[in-house]
């Protein structure tokens, strides 16, 4: 074994975050060959960052043989929030470092993908509400939100600094210049901006920006980063709309919060985890309060000590920074939720009460209604022939595939000049694929039948109306009864307040966590469907916009957990402005225990799916966020680094790996209760055999003299006992511990059932989700 004495270190291979900028796409994960590696050394061993950097250089010099080779190899030295570095190494060099004592593991490189005028009013985050979260938090003044994304379009009106306070004295960040971006692009709103490309270029070569579709700077060429930043903290903009739709006032949740931009993702197709970790390191040094990251990796999930986003967020949370991440877009399937570390706030996506009805009129003057963003590309008074994809299949195409308008399945002669109706299938779920197929054969419009969902997609080149299977079948019936079936589209309308909402979005990834099923994920849901926010006019869709008389877009409607994530980031910034000493765990607790389980009409929230069903904690965590109640939660479940160490121990990670990560000598005690007793604002028991008692501690943040009484909605198949059933707080007693005992009433292998423990004092209802799955003791030995 190679003997070297540099102090403890852990080696982790660079991961790559590929951005799928169509946000309904399922996260795709693949292994790639890479020569970029991350040497992660846990918390800093030195207080002086220069000493830490010298240590990194010494390690590389010894491995590579010279100082010059080390300088050429080194990409980043992580020295602020934690210790480590990113470097270009061969596989054999990586193996040598892996043999150094205390190096925990070498992880293969991965490729991952990314994951308003109405939404904030829908959440009742409004300055006109007396004693609401906006007024109590002064619109987020004093909070700094860091956004890790594709950059920002600084000229957007959402980022003007009118009414903004002076840049805080504790801010250590910079305004990093680059192509199309200089110091003047930062202001009292955008107080910092950085960009990271070394890891990306080491992997894929120099980024070509000569075609004008990307900028080597914080400037956003994609639109995604501008959208998320303006959703979290954009200024109030009147008469915002997407091509005339969803017109109204656009604003962020924390309009007086400052923004710090960390561009880690690139239009050419990726964001390197070496770059991402550098951004985390800088953000900790810069002094942000909240980090918003709409990205992650789909299952199978990497372990928490292997995943760069989990590592970076751990060190951020340890420094008091709340990290908010998207839950993923792989729904409605179970066990697909991502970003499941307990120190992360993981956000699902749900709908708001705005819809975009679009009428389809048949030749017999009958009308059906779908959804679209149709603003008039065809002759509005003209009827067009309508055909079914299956009936115009190409000669060599399977009719079943043609019915879905899968790629290359339609006959161009029979489709030309017609509107084509297609049906979603298990193998072809994508309306984008159908639109491209119809456009390729010169069809003039698309009607796409899909599972019922409020999510709407827009295509510049071809009008596309989304309908459910019932409406599509009625159109087929008309077509069969008519000799020359024709239809026409009416302009889309914007309608508010006539749709049951919120509902959990079809695409939103569901729990339980495949990595840690005893930790409830997602944590919370927020608006993520058809969200209007600022956009980068440099972002060109796959079309010639000028040819279609479409001006550059300053606002755009998008859907995805990428859109719900910044809603929670904005709310956390408001909470931080009011409660600057609250920990990230306290923030999360306030969100979860005050969330709503019912929609605007006092009906139980529904989860979109096939079919729709009553939503449960695996769909939305604690429920739909209620920002005004989160401002006054009554009780909180708090946690710190020691709790996270217990979690890592409970996950089975070895003492040395945890010690390196936390800079605390750790000797994990043998206990089966470490995970279920983690002080989360939820209780999840993935294997209840006979009975189990778990404990929690709550902290009173409400009236000093308070008495809370327990009320339990018992999960099916169990009995639940709470001891004590009353909690009495006063000026000397601010924290109290209680125990909850679960007993199984089933003698069969059960499925997950759900309930709630609510602590009530007449003013507050502190609701804690209960999730239990019963199992037979020694089930396999009995078969």
Mean pLDDT by 10 residues, the chain (783 residues): 35 36 30 67 75 84 89 90 86 80 60 62 84 89 96 97 93 97 98 95 87 91 96 94 88 96 88 91 97 87 87 95 96 95 98 94 96 83 94 92 95 97 92 94 96 87 94 97 96 89 96 96 97 90 53 90 97 97 98 96 93 96 98 98 94 87 84 91 95 97 98 96 98 98 87 97 97 76 49
Catalytic-residue membership of 161? no
Which residue do the tokens 């570390």 mark? 341
pLDDT value of position 12: 36
Are 210 and 180 spatial neighbours (Cβ–Cβ below 8 Å)? no
Model pLDDT, residue 18: 34
Residue 562 appears among annotated catalytic residues: yes
**Torsion angle (degrees, nearest 10) of CA 62, 67, 71, 74:** 10
Which tokens sit at 447?
Answer: 């009607």
- Which of 464, 509, 562, 607 does the annotation list as catalytic? 562
CA 647/CA 777 separation, integer angstroms:
25
Element (H, E) at 614: strand 613-614
What's the confidence (pLDDT) of residue 302? 84
Q: Does the active-site annotation cover 149?
A: yes
Give the residue from 430, 374, 126 showing the smallest Cα distance to 242.
374
pLDDT at position 106, please?
62
Active-site residue (options: 224, 227, 567, 764): 224
- CA 721 to each of CA 101, 436, 685, 712, 746: distance values in angstroms, whole numbers, following the listed order: 49, 57, 15, 8, 17
d(CA 181, CA 190): 12
Q: Which H/E stretch holds residue 548?
A: none
Q: Which of 56, 77, 139, 149 is catalytic?
A: 149
Q: In this structure, what token pair is assigned to residue 206? A: 């120099």
Residue 221 CA to residue 337 CA, distance in Å, equals 29
Q: What sign does the CA torsion over 54, 55, 56, 62 have?
A: positive
Inter-residue contact 13 to 103 (CB < 8 Å): no
766 close to 635: Cβ distance less than 8 angstroms:
yes
- CA 460 vs. chain centroid, Å, equals 26
Half-sphere exposure of 64 (CA within 13 A, CB side): 19
């Amino acid at each position: 074994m190679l003997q070297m004495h540099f102090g403890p270190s852990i080696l982790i291979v660079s991961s790559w975050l590929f951005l799928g900028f169509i946000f309904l796409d399922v996260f795709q994960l693949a292994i790639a060959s890479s020569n970029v590696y991350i040497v992660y050394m846990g918390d800093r061993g030195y207080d002086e960052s220069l000493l830490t950097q010298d240590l990194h250089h010494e390690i590389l010099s010894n491995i590579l043989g010279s100082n010059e080779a080390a300088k050429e190899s080194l990409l980043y030295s992580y020295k602020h929030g934690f210790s480590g570095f990113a470097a270009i190494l061969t596989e054999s060099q990586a193996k040598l470092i892996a043999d150094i004592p205390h190096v925990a593991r070498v992880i293969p490189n991965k490729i991952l993908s990314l994951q308003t005028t109405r939404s904030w009013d829908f959440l009742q985050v409004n300055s006109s509400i007396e004693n609401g979260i906006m007024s109590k938090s002064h619109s987020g003044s004093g909070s700094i939100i860091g956004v890790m994304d594709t950059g920002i379009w600084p000229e957007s009106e959402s980022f003007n600094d009118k009414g903004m306070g002076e840049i805080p004295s504790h801010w250590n960040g910079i305004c990093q210049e680059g192509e199309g971006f200089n110091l003047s692009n930062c202001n009292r709103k955008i107080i910092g901006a950085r960009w990271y490309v070394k890891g990306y270029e080491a992997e894929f070569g120099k980024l070509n920006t000569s075609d004008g579709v990307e900028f080597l700077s914080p400037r956003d060429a994609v639109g995604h980063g501008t959208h998320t930043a303006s959703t979290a903290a954009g200024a109030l903009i009147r008469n915002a709309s997407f091509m005339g739709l969803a017109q109204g006032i656009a604003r962020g949740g924390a309009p007086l919060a400052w923004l710090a931009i960390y561009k880690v993702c690139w239009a050419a197709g990726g964001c390197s985890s070496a770059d991402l970790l550098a951004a985390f390191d800088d953000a900790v040094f810069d002094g942000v309060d909240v980090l918003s990251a709409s990205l992650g990796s789909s299952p199978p999930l990497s372990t928490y000590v292997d995943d760069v986003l989990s590592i970076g967020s751990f060190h951020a949370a340890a420094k008091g920074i709340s990290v908010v991440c998207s839950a993923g877009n792989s729904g409605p399937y179970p066990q697909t939720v991502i970003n499941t570390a307990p120190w992360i706030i993981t956000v699902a996506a749900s709908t708001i009460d705005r819809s975009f009805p679009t009428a389809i009129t048949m030749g017999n003057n009958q009308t059906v209604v779908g959804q679209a963003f149709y603003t008039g590309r065809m002759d509005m008074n003209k009827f067009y022939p309508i055909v079914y994809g299956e009936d115009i299949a190409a000669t060599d195409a399977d009719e079943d595939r043609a019915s879905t308008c899968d790629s290359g399945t339609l006959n161009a002669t029979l489709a030309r000049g017609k509107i084509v109706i297609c049906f979603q299938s298990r193998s072809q779920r994508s309306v984008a694929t159908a639109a491209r197929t119809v456009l390729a054969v010169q069809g003039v419009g698309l009607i796409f039948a899909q599972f019922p969902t409020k999510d709407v997609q827009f295509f510049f080149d071809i009008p596309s109306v989304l309908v459910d299977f019932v409406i599509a079948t009625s159109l087929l019936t008309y077509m069969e009864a008519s000799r020359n079936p024709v239809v026409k589209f009416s302009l889309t309308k914007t309608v508010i307040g006539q749709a049951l909402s919120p509902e959990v979005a079809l695409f939103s990834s569901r729990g339980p966590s495949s990595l840690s099923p005893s930790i409830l994920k997602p944590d919370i849901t927020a608006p993520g469907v058809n969200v209007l926010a600022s956009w980068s006019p440099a972002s060109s869709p796959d079309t010639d916009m000028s040819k279609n008389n479409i001006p550059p877009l300053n606002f755009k409607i998008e859907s995805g957990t990428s859109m719900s994530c910044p809603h929670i980031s904005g709310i956390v910034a408001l909470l931080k402005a009011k409660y600057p000493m609250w920990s990230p765990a306290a923030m999360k607790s306030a969100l979860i225990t005050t969330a709503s389980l019912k929609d605007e009409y006092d009906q139980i929230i529904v989860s979109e799916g096939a079919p729709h069903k009553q939503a449960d904690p695996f769909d939305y965590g604690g429920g739909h966020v209620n920002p005004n109640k989160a401002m006054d939660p009554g009780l909180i479940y708090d946690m710190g680094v020691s709790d996270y160490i217990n979690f890592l121990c409970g996950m089975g990670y070895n003492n040395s790996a945890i010690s390196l990560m936390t800079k605390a000598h750790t000797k994990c005690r043998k206990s089966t209760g470490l995970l279920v007793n983690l002080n989360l604002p939820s209780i999840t028991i993935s294997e209840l055999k006979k009975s189990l008692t778990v404990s929690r501690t709550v902290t009173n943040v409400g009236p000093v003299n308070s008495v809370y009484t327990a009320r339990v909605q018992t999960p099916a198949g169990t009995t639940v006992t709470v001891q004590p059933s009353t909690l009495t707080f006063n000026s000397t007693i601010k924290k109290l511990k209680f125990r909850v005992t679960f007993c199984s009433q089933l003698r069969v292998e059960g499925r997950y059932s759900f309930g709630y423990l609510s602590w009530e004092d007449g003013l507050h209802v502190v609701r804690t989700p209960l999730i239990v799955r019963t199992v037979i003791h020694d089930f396999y030995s009995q078969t």
